[in-house]
Amino acid sequence: MYAWTLRPLLFLLPPGAAHTLAFAALGPVERLWPLRALVHAMLAPARDPRLLVRAMGLDFPSPLGLAAGFDKEARRPRALAALGFGHLELGTVTAQAQAAREAPNLFRLPADRALINRLGFPNEGAEQVARRLGKVRAGIGVPVGMSIGKSRAVPVDDLDAIVQDYVASFEAVRGVADFVVVNVSSPNTAGLRAMQGREHAEALFGALTEKNVDRPVPLLVKIAPDLDDAGIEEVLSVVESIGLAGVVATNTTVARDGLATAAARVQAIGAGGLSGPPIRARALDVVRRIRARLGETITVVGVGGVERADHVVEYLRAGADLVQMYTGFVYEGPGAPGHIAGQLVAMMDRSGVGSIREIKASPIE
């Protein structure tokens, strides 16, 4: 129904305005628990124990979660969980409050079911967002991760300042998060991707690990799909040596290869991170490489182009423990997480599969 009714109307609006409207619509669901219960009953199937994923010491009721970027300031976590997501990654937040980059900064590519954004981590600051999340944390009902990034005002050539900036964000959010994802791969913050290099990554994650002692939370790194093999190896060597809990693969891409959208339109949009189906193949390749390199000792979260249950299965079989969607949620609508969970259950029924772990090794239709 969403594809034929609400989406055409929302897509008449600029992407930013449509996002604002969608958030406004979720407001009553966020505030009123009877409405959340009704929405969950209508859109999300009953939890099936076969979908349970145990990772990082946490229980995820479904492998499918919401990627960072949709709810940057933890304004609608209870409403989003009611739609049937198995976890939420909120943010990205920064130590210093900052506005979005100059509009237009968000673009649709309907021919590719993709988005391009150059928002640049707009948020009220990690402390304020953490306070908001803390007030509603008990009512969310699924694991919640917080994504942290670099404040735009911090000089890109001052590694010590960058590390301290991340540490400030981490200390602000760690008390309200089940896990923390360190975003060093957004293309929309100048110089950020240099933090994926070995020297920078060791300094950053070493400092975060030193702070992650009292009631530690799982720490993950989110990496770019544009890293070459050597670059991936550098990041993964740091993941291994520092002992991070996992890797999120992948962020958006600066590549524009193979798009159905007219080249002139893409060129006119300009810079920004591309997300959606065009990055799925690369993200799957990166997930496979991570799993092959690091074995079963860490958690791998696959992100990029997820729209249907078979895409979730692709990521699981590539080596992911958990999967996230963002752009697919925009194109498929609020029923997407519950519908995908229902599809997974139906596939398991047909194939006699008893758990998510068995999906990775068993034929499934």
* Rounded distance between C-alpha atoms, residue 307 and residue 194, angstroms: 31
Residue with tokens 């540490």: 167
Contact status, residue 345 vs residue 311, Cβ threshold 8 Å:
no
Task: Name the DSSP letter for residue 104.
Answer: P
Question: Which two tokens mark 327?
Answer: 């752009």
For residue 16, give the 3-state DSSP assignment.
helix
User: Of 186, 241, 275, 351, which one is the catalytic site residue?
Assistant: 186
Nearest to 116 by CA among 8, 6, 261, 222: 261
Distances (CA, A) of 310 to 3, 61, 63, 328, 348: 19, 18, 13, 13, 12
Task: Name the DSSP letter for residue 47.
Answer: P
Distances (CA, A) of 145 to 26, 47, 148, 177, 310: 20, 20, 10, 5, 25
Evaluated on CA atoms 271, 272, 275, 279, the torsion sign reads positive
Alpha helices in 114-221 (DSSP H): 126-136, 159-173, 198-211
186 in catalytic set: yes
Query: At residue 140, what are phi and psi to the nearest 5 degrees?
Result: -85, -45
Nearest to 326 by CA among 142, 66, 19: 66
Which residues neighbour 30 within 8 Å (Cβ) at sequence distance 6 or greater?
36, 75, 76, 77, 78, 79, 136
Residues labelled as active-site residues: 186
